[in-house]
Amino acid sequence: ETTDETELSRLLQLVLGCAVSCDRKQFYIEHIMLLEESVQHVLMNAIQELMVKEIRKNNEEYSELGDQLKHALEELNRVVEAKEEIEHRCRELDLQISTLQDDKVGLIQETSRLNERLQQYENAEDAESIPRSRYKTLQERIQSQQEEVFKLETSKYFSH
């Protein structure tokens, strides 16, 4: 029996809420005003209780939306920071690549120059006139330069 009263009270609140929220609310309000004062008072209390519940519900929804917005903004800030860090790292890597390419060009030029000198020595009419130690030193420098070029190319490849 208590449950029936609670359900009936809730049903009355819903009907009253619909009545005072619809397009014909003025008509329903006028009819309520024609009822006994005690009935009017009970109906007004039911309407006010319904309105308070609705306000609380809206406030909770706004609070939840505010929390969601706050979390979304925090996530956006984290993503923006990560993007800026990645862009900074890309600029650093581009600079490193540029430096390595310049070093490679310099080493290739030096290797070419040393190869030309070596060719001059090898093409000399009297190959025995070239001191063997000098010849060996030049060959070692060429080998060293070629290894350095290989290291730079490998470093460039792995930095991409």
Kindly report, residue by residue over 42-80, the tens digit of the pLDDT.
Answer: 888 888 888 888 888 878 888 888 888 899 999 999 999
Give pLDDT tens digits for 123-142. 765 555 557 777 788 889 99
Helices 2-21 and 25-33 pack at an angle, to 10 degrees, of 120
pTM: 0.44
Residues ≥6 apart with Cβ < 8 Å to 157: none
What value does the mean pLDDT take over residues 90-119? 93
Distances 132 to 22, 44, 125, 136 between C-alpha atoms, Å: 109, 116, 15, 6
